[in-house]
Amino acid sequence: PVLLDTYEACISSFSIRGKLVRLITDSASNNIAAFSGLIIPGFECYFQRDDDDELYSDWYNDGEQTESDDAKIDNNVPLDVQDVVKQFLDSIAIDDESFRLPCYAHSIQLVINDGLKGSICVQPSLEKISKIAKLSHSSTAVAERLENIQVCVPNANKTRWNSQYDMVVTVIGIQPSALNDILIQTQHRELCLKSLDYQMLNEFVSLLTLFAEATTTTQAQKTPSVSIVAPSILAIYQDLLLERANVKHASSLCECLLESLLSRFGGMLEQMLLVIDISEKKKKKNFYDL
Over residues 96-105, the pLDDT tens digits come to 444 556 778 8
% pLDDT > 90, the chain = 38
Whether 272 is in a domain gets the answer yes
Confidence of residue 83 (pLDDT cuts 50, 70, 90): low
Q: What per-residue confidence (pLDDT) applies to 224?
A: 63
How far does Cα 284 stand from its chain's mean position? 19
Whether 13 is in a domain gets the answer yes
Whether 202 is in a domain gets the answer yes
Structural domain of 60? 2-282
**Does the pLDDT at position 255 exceed 60?**
yes
Contacts of 99 (CB under 8 A, 6+ apart): 22, 23, 92, 93
* CA proximity to 119, closest of 196, 195, 41: 41
| Residue type (1 letter), 285 | K
Whether 289 is in a domain gets the answer no
pLDDT in tens, 159-170: 788 889 999 999
The average confidence (pLDDT) of the chain is: 76
CB hemisphere CA count around 85 (13 angstroms): 15
* CA proximity to 128, closest of 192, 183, 176: 192
Whether 160 is in a domain gets the answer yes
Which range has the worst mean pLDDT, 7-16, 101-110, 136-145, 267-276? 267-276
Spatial distance between the Cα atoms of 170 and 176, rounded to a whole number of angstroms: 12
pLDDT in tens, 84-139: 555 555 555 554 444 556 778 888 888 998 998 888 889 999 999 999 999 999 99
Residue 215 φ/ψ, nearest 5 degrees:
-65, -45
| Total domains present in the chain | 1
Spatial distance between the Cα atoms of 157 and 39, rounded to a whole number of angstroms: 9
Can you give the pTM of this predicted structure?
0.68
CB hemisphere CA count around 112 (13 angstroms): 32
* CA proximity to 30, closest of 104, 120, 136: 104
Q: Classify residue 211 as exposed, middle or buried by CB count within 10 Å of its CB (0-12, 13-18, 19+).
A: buried
Q: How far lies 115's CA from each of 74, 148, 224, 252, in Å?
A: 28, 37, 27, 8
Confidence of residue 282 (pLDDT cuts 50, 70, 90): low
Q: What per-residue confidence (pLDDT) applies to 279?
A: 53
* DSSP letter, residue 193: -
User: Across-strand partners of 24?
Assistant: 101
User: Could you give the 3-state DSSP secondary structure of residue 288?
Assistant: coil
* Average of per-residue pLDDT across 41-63: 51
Whether 127 is in a domain gets the answer yes
pLDDT in tens, 171-185: 999 999 999 999 999
pLDDT in tens, 24-40: 655 555 444 444 555 76
Spatial distance between the Cα atoms of 117 and 124, rounded to a whole number of angstroms: 14
53-67, 214-228, 266-280, range with greatest mean pLDDT: 214-228
Confidence of residue 276 (pLDDT cuts 50, 70, 90): low
* DSSP letter, residue 53: -
**Does the pLDDT at position 156 exceed 90?**
no
CB 100 within 8 A of CB 24: yes
Whether 290 is in a domain gets the answer no
Whether 165 is in a domain gets the answer yes
